[in-house]
Amino acid sequence: MPLTLSIVTAQRTVLERGDVTKLVVPTSEGQITLLPSHAALMTALGGGEMIASHSGGTESFAIHGGFLQIVDDEVSVLADAAEHVLQIDLERAEAARARAEARLTGRDSNIPPGGLDVLRAQSSLQRAMIRITIVRRRRPTGVPSMRP
Amino acid sequence: MAGGGSVRAIRDRIKSVRSTAKVTRAMELVAASKMRRAQDRALASRPYAERMTAVLSQLAAYTGAGDGQALHPLLEQRAVQRVAYVHVTADRGLAGGLNANMNRAGASLVLRHQPNVTSITVIPVGRKGRDFFMRSGMPVAAEFTELGDFPDFEKVRPIAKIVMDDFLSGAVDQVFIGYQRFVNAAVQRPTTRQILPIVPPEGEDGASKGADFIFEPSPERLLETLLPRYVEMQVYAAVLEARASEQSARMVAMRQATDAANEMVGALTLAYNKARQESITGELLDIVGGVAALEAK
């Protein structure tokens, strides 16, 4: 029996399908692979790539933190943010990376009032890097972004 | 010229009421389209909310959280000395009784708790609620206005952060949130509920409760990441509901205004025709009178 997978965020449902045969997940403790009949598990997610294999091939997603629960072959991914590889806006990610790097290295003189939010800049840098890496790895060059 | 002035006055009035009707009709259409979008957003956030509630109830059942022992500071039940109340309203009016009803519900929550606690502070989200509590002299701890018609998750997170920080530091012992719940396009219901300390939801089915979960990294660490998200999600859901309610209340209010204006145009047109008739009759009488006077010579 294949896995039923739902990837949801607070804003929307990113994916819902019932024929997933294999799921590679970036957890906070490292990458794991879920196959049908997996033991019931709850885990915190890290940032990285999630790969779902199903009858239509494989699909790749950028995942940025959250939780995963699998019980009775039903997988719920509660992501803080998630997007399909084709939905990633590469230009925006590059711009976010440049901005975050400029902030963190002190090259950006435009520091917001109240000082630099280092944690926030770091996490935005991390998210941008995840997006860029996944697009470079998975998307054939020249394919434009598909808006969500 | 008997009645000539009143004929013109009525005609001007009809013109002005007609243009009012045009404005309210346009506002009705705008609100209708915004309502659809706000409603879609509220619905789109539900799967996340439902799954998170299910996960939390299982985690709570497993760890025994909420059975008196506080596994996480956000679950800690303390003697209630200080209360905070997050009051969600619209920034703008022209939405019928929506904001007034919410303010009344908020005020009654505050008055209900006031005698039993040492302090109660209000955190208004939305200008209408802020103005109301400022006017009544309530201590306003922080305020959030201009979140926009379609705020995203990032925009409401600071609200959740403030109440969680205050709760964790011991500045408040209990936190409520109040908002207009969207029942349907015609019905919105003022709703208040406790968001802190978190009361873990009861599981609906005992089916998966018995499942022997593996927890990575550990149940405590999972609670640590799940619970703040749960609070954020509840605040976000409340704001989305409030926005959907606002647009639908405005749509209904504007439709009623348009109908009232059109009705008034009808009544005024009747009065206008009558006044015009009278002034013509008056002029005719003058002429007939003049002719009669000439003939009598």
Q: Model confidence over B133-175: pLDDT tens digits?
A: 999 888 888 889 888 889 888 889 999 999 999 999 999 999 9
Report in angstroms the alpha-carbon separations of B270 from B200, B260, B276, B277, B281: 64, 16, 10, 11, 17
Q: Are residues A53 and A112 in the same domain?
A: no
Q: Are residues A31 and A77 in the same domain?
A: yes
Using an 8 Å CB-CB cutoff, list chain B residues near A72: 208, 211
Q: Model confidence over B91-107: pLDDT tens digits?
A: 988 888 899 999 999 88
The H-assigned helical ranges of B124-196 are 127-135, 153-169
Distance from CA of A45 to the nearest CA of B (A): 9
Q: Model confidence over B55-78: pLDDT tens digits?
A: 888 888 777 655 556 678 888 888
Residue A142 pLDDT class (50, 70, 90 cuts):
low
**Residue A76 φ/ψ region, left for φ over 0, alpha for ψ in the -120 to 50 degree band, beta for the rest:** beta
Q: Output the six-digit token pair for A26.
A: 């970036």
Across residues A62-68, what is the average pLDDT? 92
Domain that holds residue A123: 89-138
pLDDT surpasses 90 at B176: yes
Q: Are residues A61 and A105 in the same domain?
A: no
Q: Are residues A60 and A116 in the same domain?
A: no
Strands (E), A1-148: 3-8, 13-27, 30-34, 41-54, 57-71, 74-79, 82-84
Each domain of chain B, given as residue ranges in start order, spans 4-21+257-296, 26-203+211-254
Do B248 and B37 meet the contact criterion of CB atoms below 8 Å apart?
no
pLDDT value of position B169:
93
| Lateral strand order in the sheet of B174-182 | B119-125, B82-88, B174-182, B188-196
Amino acid at A126: Q
pLDDT surpasses 50 at B203: yes
Return d(Cα A75, Cα A71) in angstroms, integer: 7
Q: Are residues A29 and A52 in the same domain?
A: yes
Return d(Cα B85, Cα B196) in angstroms, integer: 10
pLDDT value of position B89:
93
Across residues B19-41, what is the average pLDDT? 93
Q: Are residues A98 and A117 in the same domain?
A: yes
CA A69 to chain CA centroid, nearest Å = 16
pLDDT surpasses 70 at A119: yes
Q: Are residues A79 and A109 in the same domain?
A: no
Residues in chain B: 297
Number of domains within chain A: 2
- A28, part of any domain: yes
| Chain B residue with minimum CA distance to A7 | B48
pTM value surpassing 0.95: no
Q: What is the ipTM of this complex?
A: 0.82
Q: Model confidence over A78-106: pLDDT tens digits?
A: 999 999 988 888 888 888 898 888 888 87
Give the CATH number of domain B26-203+211-254: 3.40.1380.10
Contact A42 B47 (CB under 8 A): no
Q: Are residues A126 and A75 in the same domain?
A: no
B262 or A1: which carries more pLDDT confidence?
A: B262
Give me the residue from B45, B216, B232 closest to A44, CB to CB: B216
A6 touches chain B (CB under 8 A): yes
Report in angstroms the alpha-carbon separations of B170 from B76, B80, B114, B165, B196: 11, 11, 18, 8, 12
Contact A40 B211 (CB under 8 A): yes
Q: Are residues A99 and A46 in the same domain?
A: no
**How confident is the prediction for chain B on average, in pLDDT?**
88
Amino acid at B249: A
- Domain boundary, last residue among A84, A104, A123: A84
- A143, part of any domain: no
The CATH number linked to A39 is 2.60.15.10
Using an 8 Å CB-CB cutoff, list chain B residues near A11: 41, 44-45, 48, 152-153
Do A33 and A102 meet the contact criterion of CB atoms below 8 Å apart?
no
Q: Which of A105-119, B55-69, B253-267 has the highest mean pLDDT?
A: B253-267
Contact B47 A44 (CB under 8 A): no
Q: Are residues A47 and A107 in the same domain?
A: no
Across residues A46-68, what is the average pLDDT? 92
A120 or B23: which carries more pLDDT confidence?
A: B23
- Domain boundary, last residue among A50, A67, A84: A84
Distance from CA of A141 to the nearest CA of B (A): 31
For residue B138, the surrounding DSSP H or E stretch is none
Which chain B residues in 218-257 lie under 8 Å from chain A, judged by CB atoms? Answer: 221-222, 225-226, 229, 232-233, 236
Q: Are residues A55 and A93 in the same domain?
A: no
